[in-house]
Amino acid sequence: MAQVNAVSEQDGQGRRAVSDRLLATLLAGSGAVVVLLATGVVGSRAGVVIAWIAVAAIHVGLAWVARSTAGLPGLRAPARRFWRVVAVAGAIYLAGDLAQVVIAARDPAAGPAATGGAVQTVTLSAGSALLMLTLLTVPLGFGSRRERARFWMDTATVMVAAAVVGWYLVVPDRPAALLDMAAPVLAGPVILMLCVFVVAKLVLSGTAPFTRACGLIAAGGAVLKSGADAMSRDGLAGNRLHWYLACTVAAHALLAIALRVNQLQLAGRPAALEPRRAKPYSLLPYGAIAVTYLLLTVAVVRDRPATVTIALGGAAVSTLLVVLRQLAAFRDNARLLGELDTKVRELHVTQEGLRASLAERDALAARLRHHAFHDGLTGLANRTLYAERLDAALTTPGPVAAMLIDLDDFKQVNDRWGHAAGDTLLREVARRLQTCVRATDTVARLGGDEFAILLRPEPDDDLREVAARIVREVEVPVPVDGGGSARVGASIGIATATDLTGDGDALLREADHAMYAVKRGGKGSYALAADS
């Protein structure tokens, strides 16, 4: 396989080397011929024959380069097919050129000898039409029927302008000759200008089977050929013949140069033909309609009724096509705006739903956090939240006090009145504890009938007085279901910390020891850890 690839690569290099030598010879020869013809060094008769021989030689090189380009590795199937068609078109051109060389050699002074006889006209038209159809059938990557419709309206607009320009360039200023000259118009400038349009359209759409430089150079050659046809409209007497022949040879040479430039670019980077993003609009149709109105203005100023009729008809048709194009664009815009409004409404609804979902999420997160750090029965802080706040308080300056409160005789309430009564009593005790301290203090239920309070006492606060008030409030009977009342007491242990190195667990242990000292001493009272 490696040997086959190596042989194939050598064959390709050999073909490119032959193509390079052939093209260099043709370009050098064509340049020399253009100079000889333009300066009038050679006579008119010899110039006609030399010009058509040069054109035939150029088309030999064109066909060779196109065939070689079709064999480049990495090309997509549409591009490879296009370059094969170009090679065929070059062969068709060559057949007409050879016939024209014979005609020019027989009678160089005859009119068709310089401008092209019937055979040359037919082959030029056939080759150009083949290229045009191939360009028009290149996949453009349109995603909808609307895009295809806009493309064909643009094509029709430029075709109308091309027909008007072709008529102006070819038809003499005689109304009777209009229909007689229809075939030359359609055979020459219209096809050339339409090829210019298709080349530009493909380049702009990003799906051209050739590079941008190739398209621009080839378009320049087509424009130069149209200029030569315009030059021949009023006859080729005197020095006009030399310039016509020079422009004709130069136009065909530019086409060969375009193909070689394309081949060099593709040989170095086959990805140059990868589809590119197309522009959302094209100015070509508007340029075409401007040309029709320009020709109409020129015809009116020069008072040429025949040209005015053709230019006016072309301007009217092209204007109608552009108006239809704009109406289609307006409908598309209206449709897009409707779709945009629908999407905006859907987005608004989605946004409202998202906002509600976020609010629900935040509320749920708040409830989950509350459940995670609060007691479900009393709503007080639980052991986890109390420990966090105690540790945080111990890292800030100022005294910190921890109270542990254990209810006395709570089990008897459950045994006598039931657990529902016990729950009612716990909720009421929790409420009373909160009334006994500041809102900034933390009251927590550690579990069962055990509560805790975190205080940040001021210098004039008396912790004994706070504990005594709590004992009194807890001892007040609590009404329960069944018509009775339940009563419990409170044993309170108090521990304080006055430096930043305090340990929350150690502080709670001290308060716990003080509380159990109260239990052992008779319950229903309080004690400071420092006194126990």
Domain harbouring 444, CATH code = 3.30.70.270
- Per-residue model confidence (pLDDT) at position 137: 72
Tell whether 194 is covered by a domain: yes
Tell whether 366 is covered by a domain: no
Tell whether 124 is covered by a domain: yes
Place of tokens 């006395």: 408
Task: Say which residue, 9 or 106, is predicted with more confidence.
Answer: 106
pLDDT > 70 fraction of the chain, expressed in percent and rounded? 80
CA dist 25 and 103 (Å) reads 25
Asked if the model's pLDDT at residue 30 lies above 60, the reply is yes
Tokens of 376: 């479900």
Lowest mean per-residue pLDDT among 10-14, 120-124, 384-388, 454-458: 10-14
Q: What is the average per-residue pLDDT within 198-215?
A: 67
285 and 165 in one domain? yes
The question of whether 449 is a catalytic residue gets the answer yes
Domain count for the chain, please give it.
2
pLDDT band per the 50, 70, 90 thresholds, residue 462: very high
418 and 303 in one domain? no
Asked if the model's pLDDT at residue 178 lies above 70, the reply is no
- Per-residue model confidence (pLDDT) at position 140: 64
Tell whether 72 is covered by a domain: yes
CA dist 212 and 266 (Å) reads 11
With b meaning 16 or more CB within 10 Å and e meaning fewer, what string describes 7-31? Answer: eeeeeeeeebeebeebbeebbebbe
Place of tokens 């709503």: 379
Residue 112's contacts (CB-CB under 8 Å, 6 or more residues apart) are 103, 118
- Per-residue model confidence (pLDDT) at position 14: 59
CA dist 102 and 271 (Å) reads 44
- Give residue-wise pLDDT tens across range 244-303: 888 888 888 888 888 888 888 887 676 666 655 555 566 777 877 888 888 788 878 776
- Per-residue model confidence (pLDDT) at position 429: 96
- Per-residue model confidence (pLDDT) at position 83: 87
77 and 149 in one domain? yes
- Give residue-wise pLDDT tens across range 375-413: 999 999 999 999 999 999 998 888 999 999 999 999 999
- Per-residue model confidence (pLDDT) at position 179: 47
253 and 322 in one domain? yes
Asked if the model's pLDDT at residue 102 lies above 80, the reply is yes
Task: Say which residue, 269 or 37, is predicted with more confidence.
Answer: 37
From the number of C-beta atoms within 10 Å of its C-beta (0-12, 13-18, 19+), residue 334 rates as exposed
HEC string of 240-306 equals HHHHHHHHHHHHHHHHHHHHHHHHHHHHHCHHHHCCCCCCCCCCHHHHHHHHHHHHHHHHHHCCCHH
Q: What is the average per-residue pLDDT within 296-323?
A: 79
Highest mean pLDDT among 142-151, 207-216, 505-514: 505-514
CA dist 432 and 481 (Å) reads 19
Composition of the chain by helix, strand, coil, percent to 5: 70, 5, 20
pLDDT band per the 50, 70, 90 thresholds, residue 491: very high
307 and 390 in one domain? no
Lowest mean per-residue pLDDT among 92-96, 197-201, 349-353, 453-457: 197-201
Lowest mean per-residue pLDDT among 189-198, 254-263, 413-422: 189-198
- Per-residue model confidence (pLDDT) at position 244: 83
- Per-residue model confidence (pLDDT) at position 272: 61
Place of tokens 């094509």: 155
387 and 268 in one domain? no
Q: What is the average per-residue pLDDT within 19-41?
A: 75
285 and 391 in one domain? no
275 and 130 in one domain? yes
Lowest mean per-residue pLDDT among 25-34, 82-91, 280-289: 280-289
428 and 308 in one domain? no
272 and 196 in one domain? yes
Q: Is the pTM of the predicted complex or chain greater than 0.85?
A: no
Asked if the model's pLDDT at residue 236 lies above 90, the reply is no
CB 289 within 8 A of CB 322: yes
Task: Say which residue, 177 or 103, is predicted with more confidence.
Answer: 103
- Per-residue model confidence (pLDDT) at position 23: 62
Give me the chain's average pLDDT, please.
80
- Per-residue model confidence (pLDDT) at position 185: 46
Tell whether 340 is covered by a domain: no
Instruction: Give the end of a domain, one of 283, 302, 329.
Output: 329
Tell whether 433 is covered by a domain: yes
- Per-residue model confidence (pLDDT) at position 238: 67
389 and 324 in one domain? no
- Give residue-wise pLDDT tens across range 429-448: 999 999 999 999 999 999 99
Alpha-carbon 424 to chain mean position: 66
Tell whether 347 is covered by a domain: no
Tell whether 50 is covered by a domain: yes
Instruction: Give the end of a domain, one of 294, 312, 329.
Output: 329
Asked if the model's pLDDT at residue 453 lies above 60, the reply is yes
- Per-residue model confidence (pLDDT) at position 268: 66
Asked if the model's pLDDT at residue 64 lies above 50, the reply is yes
Asked if the model's pLDDT at residue 141 lies above 80, the reply is no
CA dist 143 and 254 (Å) reads 35
Instruction: Give the end of a domain, one of 285, 311, 329.
Output: 329
Among the listed residues 449, 460, 461, 531, the single catalytic one is 449
Closest CA to 120 of 108, 129, 112: 112
317 and 407 in one domain? no
The domain in which residue 471 lies consists of: 383-528
Q: What is the average per-residue pLDDT within 511-526?
A: 93
Asked if the model's pLDDT at residue 362 lies above 70, the reply is yes
- Per-residue model confidence (pLDDT) at position 226: 74
HEC string of 123-177 equals HHHHHHHHHHHHHHCCCCCCCCHHHHHHHHHHHHHHHHHHHHHHHHHHCCCCHHH
